[in-house]
Amino acid sequence: MRGKLVSESALDNQRQAVRPEDLNDQGTVFGGHVMSLTDVTAAMAARRHAGRPCVTASIDSLHFISPIYLKEDIVLYATVNRAWKTSLEVGVKIFAENPYNGERRHVASAYLTFVALDENNRPTAVPPLIPDTYAEHRRYEEADQRRAVRLKLRKQK
């Protein structure tokens, strides 16, 4: 199976305008809405890498740094950080953007794990990931460390 570069499956500049129905009673976007957009964007990157349907196995962490307000756009970037036998980790960065002047601020980050499925909905092999840049190599190594923690936690349950 041929490996794939990180850039072959990366999604950049996925965006959605914030609508009134996306807001909570504090006037900021519901965290669950951001979580849903994050999962969808990450799944698209996973699917592009695997060339097959992928399902969410876990969301390690979703850290909210800043709220998102009405009249802002939500902008998401997703990259596959590491591919193992049948699973892969996708990192997502979420930004709020002022659509009138382009100013952005980082509002959240997340790591999600996906499993690729075959025609019978069974886990199936994914292509190896080929990191190219220094940042991609760093994320590649860090993903292995996060996976070790995930597996250790799973064994404790």
pTM for the model: 0.93
Q: How many domains is the chain built from?
A: 1
Integer Cα distance of 122 and 54 in angstroms: 10
154 has pLDDT over 90: no
pLDDT tens-digit profile of 101-121? 999 999 999 999 999 999 999
Q: What is the pLDDT of residue 36?
A: 96
Closest Cα partner for 112 from 157, 66, 65, 45?
A: 45
153 has pLDDT over 90: no
Integer Cα distance of 116 and 150 in angstroms: 18
CATH at residue 61: 3.10.129.10
Integer Cα distance of 50 and 125 in angstroms: 8
**Domain span at 13:** 4-156
Task: For residue 131, give every residue at least 6 positions away whose Cβ sits within 8 Å of its Cβ, in sequence order, or none.
Answer: 6, 137, 139, 140
Q: What is the pLDDT of residue 60?
A: 86
pLDDT tens-digit profile of 48-67? 999 999 999 999 878 899 99
